[in-house]
Amino acid sequence: MFTYTLRRLFFAIPTLLIISFVIFALLDLAPNDPTGDLPLTIPPEVREQIRASLGMDQPFFFRYLAWLQQFFINEPLNILERLTGWQFGDGQRLRVLSWATRSPVVDLIVQRLPQTLWVVGLAYLFGILIAIPIGVISAYRQYSIFDQIGTFISMVGYSVPTFFTGVLLIVIFSSYLQWFPSVYDTNLQVTDFSSFVAQMRQMALPVAVLALYNASQIARFVRASMLDNLHQDYVRTARAKGVKEKTVLLVHVLRNSLIPVVTVIALGVPTIFSGAIITEQIFRVNGLGQLLITAVQGADIPLVQTLTFIFAVLIVLFNLIADVLYGILDPRIRYD
């Protein structure tokens, strides 16, 4: 297993380099321009100077190599310096700078990450916790009323887009009932009980929207996987041996059914980091998803490039983790 993991990690390097190049090339070809959002009263000559000051007048490969150096050498060194307090060279390294804010991209990401982890991560966790019992009961009592309702809700949750459910919840709970705020207050510091309650209240709606979406998806997986296993011979054997029904269901069937589900969950983790672009935008949660979408709209290419590349790294990494987990959970699978 260890050598397998090492081999996979080694192969990930060329994969990621190719991905970074493809992203860079695609962004370069896209007909977007960082001066596109500026008022038309700013004359063309000035726009030309702005583009030059952003380094856009340099050749493609030069810009790509500069980004590689900034991202793979300068930024890690900076992080190391900050963590350890050591000093490498004079500390005056060119960092990946966002075009819109003219500040280091990594600082922006560090600032945004906690909100995304809290809101989207919590929604993912809730989604899983809701989905598993629903999936199990739905499968065990296939075609019962519970199964029908569960199927209906998960179909609705899966097929209705978050930009609809999000606005619907705002209209009901913020405008009409006024229970929850519609705008996320990113300045809120949790210091005492009342601020904790305020934090819970402002997280309620976005988490609910995303949890519904996640739960619907995972519940369908759990149900399908449970159904596959319920009709297996080993289940009949267990029952014939007189094992209690609860043990059959929760120990024999559930454990086996969760193997593919764990893979699905692991593969879904990178989406937590990429944030729920639409949901974050609707509720104005200042997470990574919102950062990405504003960067795309404003043609902030260094920021888009860096963010998408980090997502690519996470996807490659979690694919590996899913594969390794599979090997650990399922004794029938061996990589060596």
Partner 1 sequence: MHKLKLLLAGTVAALALSGAAAHAARGTDGDLKILFWQAVSTMNPYLSGGTKEVFASSIVIEPLARTDEKGELVPFLAAEIPTIDNGGLAKDLLSLTWKLKPDVKWSDGTPFTAEDVIFTWKYCTAPDGGCAQAAQYEGVKNVEAVDPHTVKITFTEPKPYPYSAFVGGQSPIIQAAQFKDCVGAKAPGCTSANFGPIGTGPFVVKDFKPNDVITFAANANYRDPAKPAFASITLKGGGDAASAARAVLETGEYDYAWNTMVEPEVLQTMLAAGKGRLESAFGTNVERINLNHFNADPSLGDKRSTADAGPHPSLKDPAVRRALSLAIDRDIIVEAGYGAAGKATCNIVPAPAAVASTKNDEWCLKQDIAGANKLLDDAGWVKGADGIRAKDGVKLSYLYSTSTNSVRQATQELVKAMWAEIGVGAELRNASAAVFFGGDPASPDTFQKFYADVEMYTNNFDGTDPEKYLAEWLCDKVPGPANGWQGQNIPRYCNPAYDKLVGELSKTADVEKRNALSKQLNDMLTEEGAHIALVHRGDLSAFAVTLEGVKMNSWDSQLWNLADWYRKK
CB nearer to partner 1: give 186 or 217.
Answer: 186
Question: Which letter does DSSP use for residue 248 in this model?
Answer: I
CB of 150 to partner 1, least distance (A): 32
Q: How many residues bind partner 1 (CB under 8 A)?
A: 54
**Interface residues for partner 1 in 56-85 (CB under 8 A)?**
none
**In angstroms, rounded to a whole number, what is the distance separating the alpha carbons of residues 40 and 36?**
9
CB nearer to partner 1: give 69 or 294.
Answer: 294
CB nearer to partner 1: give 115 or 263.
Answer: 115
Q: Binding mask 253-272 vs partner 1 (x if CB under 8 A, - otherwise)?
A: --------------------
> For partner 1, which stretch binds (CB under 8 A), given 17-25, 50-58, 82-90, 308-316?
50-58
Q: Binding mask 104-123 vs partner 1 (x if CB under 8 A, - otherwise)?
A: x--xx--x------------
Joined tokens for residue 72: 């793979």
> For partner 1, which stretch binds (CB under 8 A), given 37-45, 58-66, 67-75, 213-221?
37-45
CB of 101 to partner 1, least distance (A): 4
Q: Binding mask 279-298 vs partner 1 (x if CB under 8 A, - otherwise)?
A: --xx-x-x---xx--x--xx
Residues 6+ apart with CB under 8 A from 246: none
**In angstroms, rounded to a whole number, what is the distance separating the alpha carbons of residues 25 and 29?**
6
Tell the residue number behind the tokens 């050591």, with chain if given: 86
One residue of 17, 38, 172, 250 binding partner 1 per CB under 8 A: 38
**In angstroms, rounded to a whole number, what is the distance separating the alpha carbons of residues 304 and 98?**
9
Nearest to 312 by CA among 6, 4, 24: 24
Residue 301 in the binding site for partner 1 (CB under 8 A): no
CB nearer to partner 1: give 50 or 320.
Answer: 50
- Rounded-to-10 torsion of CA 324, 330, 333, 336: 50
**In angstroms, rounded to a whole number, what is the distance separating the alpha carbons of residues 323 and 335?**
9
First to last CA, the chain: 6
**Interface residues for partner 1 in 155-194 (CB under 8 A)?**
167, 170, 174-175, 178, 181-183, 185-187
- Cα 188-126-213 angle, rounded to 5 deg: 100
**In angstroms, rounded to a whole number, what is the distance separating the alpha carbons of residues 20 and 17?**
5
CB of 53 to partner 1, least distance (A): 2
CB nearer to partner 1: give 14 or 43.
Answer: 43
Residue 36 in the binding site for partner 1 (CB under 8 A): yes
One residue of 47, 121, 243, 309 binding partner 1 per CB under 8 A: 47
CA 322 to chain centre: 15
CA 305 to chain centre: 16
CB nearer to partner 1: give 76 or 114.
Answer: 114
> For partner 1, which stretch binds (CB under 8 A), given 102-110, 147-155, 230-238, 270-278?
102-110
182 with 283: CB under 8 angstroms?
Answer: yes
**In angstroms, rounded to a whole number, what is the distance separating the alpha carbons of residues 83 and 67?**
23
CB of 198 to partner 1, least distance (A): 8
120 with 287: CB under 8 angstroms?
Answer: yes
The binding site for partner 1 (CB under 8 A) comprises 31-33, 35-54, 97-98, 100-104, 107-108, 111, 167, 170, 174-175, 178, 181-183, 185-187, 281-282, 284, 286, 290-291, 294, 297-299
